Amino acid sequence: MTASIRLFLDTPLHPGAEPAGSPAQAHYLASVMRARTGGVVRLFNGREGEFAARIAVLHRGEVRFAVETQTRPQAAEPDLWLAFALLKRDATDLLVQKATELGVAALLPLRSARTQAERLNPARLAAIAIEAAEQSERLSLPALHPLQSLGALLDGWPDGRRLIVAAERSAAPPPPAGLLPAGLLIGPEGGFAPAELDVLRARPFVTVASFGPRILRAETAAIVGLALLQAPAFS
């Protein structure tokens, strides 16, 4: 049963290494998964691929592993970023979870005129991303950027990377598939304010796109947009 368990460890991994897990991981293994000493797990750190390991110690909130062989080498992820207006907590949690599963390389939360939330809990979102990466068999974690304004995002946008902006009630074409490196920008519930759309359209690296005739919730638009932008990789 434990062979299907994947855990993220932010520590070097190689055959012969004996890394320790966290107390939370020890609780998860012992109390949730009913794992035992000698059981097989898979470990990854986002840098060196995935490794099979055995549970060497599992006792009273302590876990230590014995790394054996590499099961998968590190692989490149799609060079796709997701910038999004911060939503209410549950919606933001879902967005981070699904964006991680869909392979985004970076998450860039921002404030906009119609943003519904003002606070960001980076530790919570990092934990959600880790769990999503473990479950989806992803080999890396998305970089989580600090909360910033829309203006700061645009001013700091790197050369050579398109920014695809989801615009509802728009006659714009669908997003271009396979155009990487790129970023997807999702506005808040209610969309961007007209003045914000004017600012976005004035930037030469921005492409405004429509995701169809229906009005989508922000978290749904993120999932749809990320899938459309990676459509060639899914075929």
- Domains in the chain: boundaries: 2-72, 80-234
**Cis peptide leading into residue 181 (ω within 30°):** yes
What is the architecture, at CATH level 2, of domain 80-234?
3-Layer(aba) Sandwich (3.40)
Distance CA 132, CA 77 (A): 15
The pLDDT of residue 232 is above 70: no
Report the pLDDT value the prediction gives residue 63, as an integer from 0 to 100.
97
Same fold, 2-72 and 80-234: no
CA angle 142, 144, 146 (to 5 degrees): 165
- Residue 220 has phi, psi (to 5 degrees) of -70, -40
* Residue 91, Ramachandran bin (φ over 0: left; ψ between -120 and 50: alpha; else beta): alpha
Report the pLDDT value the prediction gives residue 19, as an integer from 0 to 100.
98
* Residue 179, Ramachandran bin (φ over 0: left; ψ between -120 and 50: alpha; else beta): beta
pTM over 0.85: yes
pLDDT band at 2 (very low <50, low <70, confident <90, very high): very low
pLDDT tens digits, residue range 101-160? Answer: 999 999 999 999 888 777 889 999 999 999 999 999 999 999 999 999 999 999 999 999
pLDDT tens digits, residue range 45-75? Answer: 999 999 999 999 999 899 999 999 999 999 9
Asked if residues 44 and 30 have their Cβ atoms less than 8 Å apart, the reply is no
pLDDT tens digits, residue range 74-85? Answer: 998 889 999 999
Q: What is the mean pLDDT of the chain?
A: 91
| More confident position, 190 or 97 | 97
Q: In the chain, pLDDT over 90 holds for what percent of residues?
A: 73
How many Cα atoms sit within 13 Å of 149 on the Cβ side?
A: 5
37 three-state secondary structure:
coil
* CATH number belonging to domain 2-72: 2.40.240.20
The pLDDT of residue 172 is above 80: no
Amino acid, res. 193: A
Please write down the HEC assignment for all residues of 155-212.
HCCCCCCEEEEECCCCCCCCCCCCCCCEEEEECCCCCCCHHHHHHHHCCCCEEEECCC
